[in-house]
Structure 1
């Protein structure tokens, strides 16, 4: 008896011991049989879209990213995706063009066409190709650093972001001016 008093089980045990079986059975029966019945309505499959659209109209819309102050982290993330997609489109586009017309897109013909372009167009083309390549490469190294649990603090993310931007600018100029 001392143990139940010390643990605090005395009142609970007395209540369980002296409660009539009839009352305990009523509680169990009340929990098994629901108090409310649920109305079920059959709907045609075409009504699903209509119900879904009505629910979507009632949902609050999340704030658009344009209401937030631009931050280096999300601008870098967007730029990484855009440069990766752009470089992929160029690579696959040139590869498919080479497969379709190998005589037109062979190395000798491409060098001949580029040699005939004015110097300003050559430098602009090199810069347009060098900038996304450099940014995507350096940002990929930044992501590898994050995978190694380096630069994952807010300060580290910003420092590494500025390093990526600086390295991109320097290497873009170097790749553009390199003959």
Structure 2
């Protein structure tokens, strides 16, 4: 902010003192360069051939390096696990907010979301449906919890070697599936 004011004041002073010089400099230099007196001149080089500007740009693009992207990498447990950690976090928090909002507006809309009606609804389901529903709800929670512990150990600077990342990634997958199934049978 201060440097901009200084540049503006010096440009105004220059414009008042030497208007002809100011007009010729504005055509070639930036305001900061004019204010600091660092005006450089360089000659313009142009080719003798009349080339189509779109062809020049297309030829330059062919010489540029291509940035790597996900489609060229082999899927690894490290980045897949971190991605799933974020996805499960968003899914769990979104479900919590939607459930809380539904619970608050349920009496107004005539819905029965109180504990007694939820227990009665679950009791009416067959065993296979209960296990499937409960494990579907438990798996994102257990995965996010186990992988959160993994990320916390990384924050402490432990387990950051490739073999340790692979081992801990598959350990998190196994523990989260096992604990989700265990929770489903409770």
- Runs of 5+ consecutive residues of structure 1 not aligned to the other structure: 1-30, 39-53
2:14 pairs with 1:36: no
For 1:25-104, what aligned pairs fall within 5 Å after superposition?
Answer: 34-36=40-42, 62-102=67-107, 104=112
TM-score by length of 1: 0.64
Tell me which structure has the larger Cα radius of gyration: 1
Partner of 1:157: 165
- Judging changes above 3 Å, is the alpha-carbon distance between structure 1 residues 36 and 123 closer, same or farther for their aligned structure 2 residues? same
Aligned-residue offset at 1:67 = 2.1
Equivalenced residues, count: 130
State how far apart, in whole Å, the 2-side matches of 1:101 and 1:32 are. 70
State how far apart, in whole Å, the 1-side matches of 2:76 and 2:180 are. 23
Partner of 1:118: 126
- Judging changes above 3 Å, is the alpha-carbon distance between structure 1 residues 126 and 37 closer, same or farther for their aligned structure 2 residues? same
Partner of 2:143: 135
Aligned-residue offset at 1:60 = 6.7
Find the residue that maps to 2:42 and give its secondary structure.
coil
Question: Quick check: 131-140 or 147-156, which moved more?
Answer: 147-156
Partner of 2:181: 173
Aligned-residue offset at 1:61 = 6.0
Q: Kindly provide the CA deviation profile for residues 49-99 of structure 1, in whole angstroms up to 9, marking residues without a partner as x.
A: xxxxx9xxx687633312211100011011111111111121111100001
Partner of 2:114: 106
Find the residue that maps to 1:169 and give its secondary structure.
helix
State how far apart, in whole Å, the 2-side matches of 1:33 and 1:134 are. 64
- Runs of 5+ consecutive residues of structure 2 not aligned to the other structure: 1-36, 45-56
Aligned-residue offset at 1:32 = 5.5
TM-score by length of 2: 0.62
